[in-house]
Every structure is written in C-alpha cells, then in structure tokens.
Structure 1
Amino acid sequence: MPQSFVPYLKENARKDMVGVLNARLADTIALTNAVKQAHWNLKGRGFIGVHELLDDVADHLRDGADLMAERAAILGGLAQGTVEVAAKASGLEPYPTDITEIDDHIAALVDRFGAYSTKLREAIEAADEAGDEGTADLFTEVIRAADKDAWFIGSNSPKSA
C-alpha cells in the first residue's frame, strides 16, 4: 500500500476504509450516470426545472466522488473510479434506459437515492468502527447532500403535492 497521510490509523483499518471508499465511489459514479441518463431523456410538464435540477445534482455527486477518491489516496490506497470498475462494483440497481416520463425518472431516482443513502449510512458505521473519524465525517457530508438532492427530486413528483 502506498504512503498514508493518516498515521493514527492502523494499516488494516486503512485498507478496510479504502475498500469502503471505493465501493461507495462506484455507487456514486453509477448514480451520477443515472442522474445524467434522466437529465438527457426526460420529457413532460415541468421539463426545464427538473432538467436543470439534475445538472446540479450530478455536480453534487461528482463533488462527493472527488472527496471519496481523494480520501482513498490520503489513506494510502488507490481510487478505483473508472466506468468499468463502477459498473462491476456498484451495488445500486441498474438505471432503466427506456423511460422518458418525468414521473418515471423521479421515481427511479428517488429509489436509487434511498439505496445510496442506506449504503452511505453503513459506510459511516464502518468508519466509526475503524476509528476513522475523517472518513465518517466525509460520508456524513456526502449523505447530507444526497438527502437534500433526493428531497428536491422527489418534491417534483405529483405524489408529493
């Protein structure tokens, strides 16, 4: 393992955290691509507002991915962030590529954000157990943004009115 800049963590804890960071990085890349899939293909009433919102959401996800990848490097690991790795490693349901209605995209995205948030909460617990407050805090920051974005997306659904 390359040099770590977090000397207070034991090597096995660092390796574990790099694995968790890469797993959540894969999910983040997959979810970012799902958001962009919706952004490119949605149609219907309220199109422009949702279309623009999804660009912002994708930016937030990319910011989270960057934090995770850099933390993996700080811990002495390597970020595994290619599309090929993400496709194999993500635990999220594949995003449907045959839908266009805004409501269908909203439902699909809200479902995936729910699964993503669950995995982030599990990552926070793993980081806490490893004694890695820095990584736990990073995941807390990412989950706050994801929960807010899920709320914004879901608020566009007629079911939320």
Structure 2
Amino acid sequence: MAKNGKAKLHPTKHPLNANLRGSMVELLQKHLGTAIDITYQTKQAHWNVKGMNFIAVHKLFDELHETTEDYVDNIAERLTALGGQAHGTVQASSENTVLDPYPLDLVKSEDHLKRLADSYAKWSSELIKGIEEASEAGDDLTEDLLTEVGRGIDESLYFLESHFQSA
C-alpha cells in the first residue's frame, strides 16, 4: 500500500481505470488474507482433530484445505492482473484477514467443525459485501470471481454444519 492508503499499482494496459483497479486491489487484498487464513485454519483442524468419525472429518478438512488453496491462487492472480502486488505472506494475511484467530487448543471433531463453520460463515458474509462492492464499481470480473468463491465457501459451510444439524 502507498502512504496515502491506496494500493500502489504496477503499470498495465488493463482497461479498467487506475482508481477502480486500486479499489479492487484493496478489496482483493482483504479476501486474499482471509483465504490464506481460512486455508490454514482448516489445516490446523486437519492436523489436530481427534474423536468420533476421525478419519471422515480428517479427510474433509484436508479436502476443504485444498479447495481454499485454489481460492488463494485465483484471488492473488486477479489482484496482480489489475496491477496490484499480492500480499500473500502469513504476516500480511494476519493483517488483512476478516477472521478471528483460530484457537490452537481445539481437539474434538465437533469443536473444530463448529469453529470452522463460524469462520466460513463470516467469510461468506464478507464475500457478499465484496460482490456488492465490485458490482457497484462496475468490475464484473472481480464480482464473478468473488461470486465463484462465495458459492464454494457456502458449499463448504454446508459440509461443516451438516455434522451437527439435526431434524
């Protein structure tokens, strides 16, 4: 970020104007940080889960981790296509994420499932806001990307919550 809080952009022939690209880069930095955070929250759960249905939940967390890694790459590449500089380190992600820190002492599968569901739900809510922001700004491609990520996050939330929902 530049000193004025606006994203510094690399020269590009991208057709969107610089102000719009700068605001979308800022929006995407937040979602990149969140994507990296949720990727490793999910891996933290994968590594440390214990209890009933261990193998099924262990494998689910690994699948969710792989899915969110794709979101990281897609968001970072859109951000850089707009002329931005992706801030994808763990330190940068911790500054940009919208998620609460993941507890390091969780063990039981139900606790991990519920805590991850909280994170996925929170990001889903932020994605909806981001979709609206990109739409209002007229950046159809960023809107489409965030919509695609949002669909996946909502599906993952369904997978997580289905473990503890009942009729």
TM beyond 0.5 = yes
SS at 1:79 equivalent:
coil
Give the corresponding residue for 1:4.
Answer: 12
Deviation >4 Å, runs of 4+: none
Task: Confirm or deny that 1:98 pairs with 2:105.
Answer: yes
Give the corresponding residue for 1:129.
Answer: 136
Task: Confirm or deny that 1:140 pairs with 2:147.
Answer: yes
SS at 2:102 equivalent:
coil
Structure 1 residue 5, shift from structure 2 partner: 4.9
Give the corresponding residue for 1:42.
Answer: 49
Q: So what's the TM-score if we normalise by structure 1?
A: 0.95
1:48-127 superposed matches below 5 A: 48-127=55-134
Task: Quote the Cα distance in structure 2 between the aligned partners of 1:137 and 1:5.
Answer: 21
Residue by residue, what CA displacement relative to the aligned partner does 1:21-70 show, whole Å, maximum 9, x if unpaired? Answer: 01110011111111011111111110101110111111111101111100
User: Quick one: which amino acid aligns to residue 11 of structure 2?
Assistant: Q
Would you say how many aligned residue pairs link Structure 1 and Structure 2? 159
User: Quick one: which amino acid aligns to residue 104 of structure 2?
Assistant: T
Give the corresponding residue for 1:149.
Answer: 156
More helix by share: 1
Structure 1 residue 6, shift from structure 2 partner: 2.8
Give the CA RMSD over aligned residues.
1.1
Give the corresponding residue for 2:5.
Answer: none
Task: Confirm or deny that 1:160 pairs with 2:166.
Answer: yes
SS at 1:61 equivalent:
helix
Structure 1 residue 99, shift from structure 2 partner: 1.0
CA separation of 1:131 and 1:11: change in aligned 2, threshold 3 A: same
Q: Note if contact 1:39-1:54 (Cα within 8 Å) is conserved in structure 2.
A: yes
Task: Confirm or deny that 1:30 pairs with 2:30.
Answer: no
Task: Quote the Cα distance in structure 2 between the aligned partners of 1:52 and 1:62.
Answer: 15
